Amino acid sequence: MNAGSDRVGEVFERDRLRRAFGAFPTGVTVLTCDGHEPHGMTANSFASVSLDPPLVLVCVGRDANMHRALHGCEHFGISVLAADQEPVARHFADRRRPLGAAQFDAVDWLSGPVTGVPLIGGAVAAFECRPWRSYDGGDHTIFTGRLLSMSEHLSRDALLFSGGRFRRFATESTEVPL
């Protein structure tokens, strides 16, 4: 390890830091919220937090429209996209898409069974959540949600994001028991 690389207060070039963080492959989700102006956003900063109570987290940039929407919503949804749903991910990442309910016209979606929050059809897994707590995360806010419902279609492969590109699992895999 380079002796100078762990200095407190070291300034990192933003693009280089983004590339280094992007070396870690993640799943791709669409985060949605309900309300008078439903909204969706592609997000790859999603994780499980707790089984009891069942909690998840998403990190949202403070300058994103979704940041404002999450502060005012009663419920939010998370849809884990399938490998063939790259167009859906690109749609909700496009800042030129329509806002409000119209942004869902271009994708297959359904109302969550408990809250009615928009969920993406064909997703590998989908979760309906009630906001739990939020935490300062620098230029992002970490939003946690308490699960209200979930669905899963685990026979499908998830869409991945790594190195600044969407990716898929290799077609051939060897299962190794843990």
pLDDT interval class at 160 (50, 70, 90) = confident
Identify the DSSP state of 156: S
CATH topology of domain 61-76+88-164: Pnp Oxidase; Chain A (2.30.110)
Span 7-45, pLDDT tens digits: 444 667 878 877 787 776 788 999 999 877 899 999 989
Residues 6+ apart with CB under 8 A from 101: 37, 38
Span 48-98, pLDDT tens digits: 999 999 999 999 999 999 999 998 899 999 999 999 999 999 999 999 999
pLDDT at 5 over 70: no
Span 111-135, pLDDT tens digits: 999 999 999 999 999 999 999 999 9
From the CB of residue 48, how many other CB atoms can be counted at a distance below 10 Å?
11
Looking at 5-150, list the stretches that DSSP marks H as alpha helix, in order from N- to C-terminal side. Answer: 14-21, 65-72, 86-93
Phi and psi at residue 14, to the nearest 5°: -55, -50
> 54 is written with which tokens?
């069942």
Quote the pTM value.
Answer: 0.84
